A and B are shown apart, each in its own frame.
Chain A
Amino acid sequence: MNGPLLFLPLIPLLPFAGFLINGVLGGRLPKPLVTFVGLVAPLLSFSIVARDAFLVWSGSLALPVAEQGGPAWISIGTLHITFGAVFDQLSMVMLLIVTGVGFLIHVYSVGYMADDKSYARYFSYLNLFLFFMTTLVLAGNVLLMFVGWEGVGLASYLLIGFWFTKDSASNAGKKAFIVNRVGDFGFLIGIFLLLATFGTLSFSEISAALAASPGWQGNVFNVIALCLLFGATGKSAQLPLYIWLPDAMEGPTPVSALIHAATMVTAGVYMICRTHVLFNHAPFALGTVAVVGAATAFFAATMGLVQNDIKRVLAYSTISQLGYMFLGCGVAAYSAAIFHLMTHAFFKALLFLGAGAVIHSLGGEQDMRKMGGLWKTMPVTFACMTAAVMAICGIPPFAGFFSKDAILYATFLHYGAGGKILWFVGVVTALLTALYMFRLWYMTFLGNSRSEVHHPHPTPASMLVPMTILGALSLCGGWIGIEHFGGFLEPVLGEMPTKSGSAVTEWILTGIAVLLAIEGWLIIDKYYRRKPERPAQLAARVPGAYNLLFNKYYVDEFYGWTVVKPVLVVSRYVLGWFIDKAVIGGAVWLLGGTATLTGAILQRWQSGNIRSYAAWLAAAAAAVLLFIVVPWTSVLAGIGIHIHMAGH
């Protein structure tokens, strides 16, 4: 290989080693050693990525780098699938986010999980997640990506159900896993179709085949892209498969920050960007991505408005922000989607970590109605959370402003009138975002304390330092600007579709979005600071709308009646009673009964008496002798029976 060594395989393998050590030996190791193993693996991975990124930055490494990854993993006929990795601008950015934010959240977890008795198990799962996530990002072909894709689903399941003795936690884990499986079904069909259409699963070969014939059109691309999109809606919690993410908040809060906000749920966005050449050949599917994204952003934001659990507000906000990223993908502004993915990773991880710090200090309280006034007791957390809230609402100069602005601007320019509608939905969602985020901010940190905890736990430094770093990133993470960021990603993702737009339009659109965000702040300020009795009055005035939102549009109930109930009924009565108990159970009983009966008869032979055995032996020997010595053919012929032996 030419050029410097990149140590790409080590990036996933180091966390895997950490998983093995802590998973196998963790229970017997002293706690500091568990911490050391758990932290050093992601730190080394991050160092490798950072070093490779530095090589790129200093110009001594030309991207993309594709590693063959040793011998073929699967070889069937002309199909050869390897463990090959691809390191280009896109996977570099993604790896920096995954390992960087991942490491910070590992550090945070040291403080947050300090008193948990399954400390080693927690860190082994967290390292396992990093292993699969980096595999997903580095994968050079769709199948290897699918391995990582399934693996992060497994890690997510294990961590949501981390406190598995709690019924709600283990149910939430199962729900997440099963809903993801529904999406994975679409992804798998997409993989099969890719294989049938292109004869290869390598990203670079598929892109090359499509680039070689730009006029190549066909419904098969739409079908493949829609299948991939269905997979992405499962993993990235979009309509119609978003329902697992709010329940996933049953897991430990750092897990929510890492897996269910910053990294894993963005895998769908990453997958669409990875296969964006295909989506560019599938206009209908691309439009569907945009519509799904905008619709999810809006609906999730409305549901977030009325939640009282601090983590659930953040969960709906994550779904909503992921909708923005899908919207960005859907208008072919892939760089903007990745830009928002990055800033979102910073501020949403921080929001969850801040929420975790609040929950930690209040001894496990998650209900915002029992918080308030925490800015006095938790000044650092308050400052960091403020930065994150400003960032997610898109208030300049915080990070979220730049990325959300880039997506909305690209949406406005795309698809003619349809794009204007999508833009309008996006801007209204920006207002809703400001409403629910500032509501959270006011209810948690400002006003008078409504908490029953009078002496909040102090927040340890291991939790404050990662929050401070993420706070700085939430402030500065967007300053690079979409022009530079998009320019950097251009070799992979193509140029931003906004180059044709005028600066004046952009300034006007930006102004509208910022004004709406500030308007949202003012509304919440009025409702939650100056007239705190107003929200309840408003809810009482429109009980129908309030209940609809509070019960999340009854989507869970709808799925419960249309999908879960029928499946359960069929499982219990048809499969359980009839197939399992009657058919399979009956067959087993019949077989067993026959064997027992035959045994009971034959058992009498086994008398245990040596002489009876010997008598049988002697009788059998005599019978054999008789058979050999007596000339049966002639004896039988004598009494009129003729036997014709073969060959005679």
Chain B
Amino acid sequence: MISPLASEVPVSWYLFLSAALFCLGVAGFLIKRNLITVFMSIELMLNAVNLSFVAFAWQWHAVKGQIFVFFVMMVAAAEAAVGLAIIIAVYRARTTLAVDRIDLMKL
């Protein structure tokens, strides 16, 4: 049961989109100074990978990839909760979210 619309879009398009999103995420992670934006860039990278998972699952008619995506989303949700909590704690302690000023590891 292949949908007629989907059959017109080759899987490579999805993969290009996924790669573009991932590179955007990497670039955002490297360039942005705000911790929340950095965090969002990480989410973007995760979802770029999710997209390629789903694309391959559709391509190969294998459900495993879709199941994997659920796992990733679940872990990402937990990570978001923990990450946001850390960000709030960091803000309370340092009153800033600029990543290059949160460098206490350096003496």
Q: Do A and B bind each other?
A: yes
Interface residues in chain A, defined as those with a beta carbon under 8 Å from any beta carbon in chain B: 606-611, 614-615, 618
Q: Mark B5-49, 1 if CB is under 8 A from A, else 0.
A: 000000000000000000000100111000000100000000000
Determine the residue in chain A with the shortest Cβ distance to B106.
A608
CB distance from A609 to the nearest CB of B (A): 6
Q: Is the CB of B99 within 8 A of A607?
A: no
Is B78 an interface residue when CB atoms closer than 8 A count as contact?
no
Instruction: With A615-B30, A618-B26, A618-B30 as known contacts, state yes or no: A610 contacts B104, CB within 8 Å.
Output: no
Q: Is the CB of A611 within 8 A of B100?
A: yes
CB distance from A44 to the nearest CB of B (A): 63
CB distance from B101 to the nearest CB of A (A): 10
Determine the residue in chain A with the shortest Cβ distance to B31.
A611
Main secondary structure of the interface of A (DSSP, over half): helix
- Point out the residues of chain A lying under 8 angstroms from B102, CB to CB: 610
- Point out the residues of chain B lying under 8 angstroms from A606, CB to CB: 105-106
Q: Is the CB of B104 within 8 A of A611?
A: no
CB distance from B42 to the nearest CB of A (A): 10
- Point out the residues of chain B lying under 8 angstroms from A614, CB to CB: 26, 29-30
Q: Is the CB of A610 within 8 A of B99?
A: yes
Q: In the complex, A615→B28 CA distance in Å?
A: 11
Q: In the complex, A608→B99 CA distance in Å?
A: 10
Q: In the complex, A611→B103 CA distance in Å?
A: 11
Determine the residue in chain A with the shortest Cβ distance to B100.
A609
Q: Can you name 11 extra interface pairs (CB under 8 A) apart from A608-B103, A618-B26?
A: A606-B105, A607-B106, A608-B104, A608-B105, A609-B103, A609-B106, A610-B99, A610-B100, A611-B29, A611-B99, A614-B26
Q: In the complex, A618→B45 CA distance in Å?
A: 12
CB distance from B98 to the nearest CB of A (A): 11
A-B contact pairs, 19 of them (CB 8 A): A606-B105, A606-B106, A607-B103, A607-B106, A608-B103, A608-B106, A609-B100, A609-B103, A609-B106, A610-B99, A610-B102, A610-B103, A611-B29, A611-B30, A611-B100, A614-B26, A614-B29, A614-B30, A618-B26
- Point out the residues of chain A lying under 8 angstroms from B100, CB to CB: 609-611
CB distance from A604 to the nearest CB of B (A): 11
- Point out the residues of chain A lying under 8 angstroms from B104, CB to CB: 608
- Point out the residues of chain B lying under 8 angstroms from A618, CB to CB: 26, 30
- Point out the residues of chain B lying under 8 angstroms from A615, CB to CB: 30
Q: Counting chain B CB atoms within 10 Å of each CB, which of A607, A608, A615 scores highest?
A: A608
CB distance from A226 to the nearest CB of B (A): 67
Main secondary structure of the interface of B (DSSP, over half): helix
Q: In the complex, A606→B99 CA distance in Å?
A: 15
Determine the residue in chain A with the shortest Cβ distance to B23.
A618
Determine the residue in chain A with the shortest Cβ distance to B35.
A610
Q: In the complex, A618→B104 CA distance in Å?
A: 23
Query: In chain B between 63 and 99, which residues have their CB closer than 8 angstroms to a CB of chain A?
Result: 99
Determine the residue in chain B with the shortest Cβ distance to A611.
B30
CB distance from B100 to the nearest CB of A (A): 6
Q: In the complex, A606→B106 CA distance in Å?
A: 7
- Point out the residues of chain B lying under 8 angstroms from A609, CB to CB: 99-100, 103, 106
Q: In the complex, A607→B103 CA distance in Å?
A: 8
- Point out the residues of chain A lying under 8 angstroms from B106, CB to CB: 606-609
Determine the residue in chain B with the shortest Cβ distance to A608.
B106
Determine the residue in chain B with the shortest Cβ distance to A621.
B26
Q: In the complex, A516→B39 CA distance in Å?
A: 108
10 closest A-B pairs by beta carbon, nearest first, are A608-B106, A608-B103, A608-B105, A610-B99, A611-B30, A614-B29, A618-B26, A609-B100, A615-B30, A614-B30
Q: In the complex, A607→B107 CA distance in Å?
A: 9
Determine the residue in chain B with the shortest Cβ distance to A615.
B30
- Point out the residues of chain A lying under 8 angstroms from B29, CB to CB: 611, 614
CB distance from B99 to the nearest CB of A (A): 5
Q: In the complex, A610→B99 CA distance in Å?
A: 7
Q: In the complex, A122→B87 CA distance in Å?
A: 64
Q: In the complex, A611→B98 CA distance in Å?
A: 11
- Point out the residues of chain A lying under 8 angstroms from B26, CB to CB: 614, 618
CB distance from B35 to the nearest CB of A (A): 9
Determine the residue in chain B with the shortest Cβ distance to A607.
B106
Q: In the complex, A610→B37 CA distance in Å?
A: 13
CB distance from A614 to the nearest CB of B (A): 6
Q: In the complex, A47→B47 CA distance in Å?
A: 87
Q: In the complex, A242→B102 CA distance in Å?
A: 74
Q: In the complex, A615→B99 CA distance in Å?
A: 14
- Point out the residues of chain B lying under 8 angstroms from A607, CB to CB: 103, 106
Q: In the complex, A609→B30 CA distance in Å?
A: 11
Q: Mark B54-66, 1 if CB is under 8 A from A, else 0.
A: 0000000000000
- Point out the residues of chain B lying under 8 angstroms from A611, CB to CB: 29-31, 99-100
Q: In the complex, A615→B103 CA distance in Å?
A: 16
Determine the residue in chain A with the shortest Cβ distance to B104.
A608
CB distance from A626 to the nearest CB of B (A): 15
CB distance from A379 to the nearest CB of B (A): 79
Determine the residue in chain B with the shortest Cβ distance to A618.
B26
CB distance from A480 to the nearest CB of B (A): 83
Q: In the complex, A611→B38 CA distance in Å?
A: 10
CB distance from A89 to the nearest CB of B (A): 76
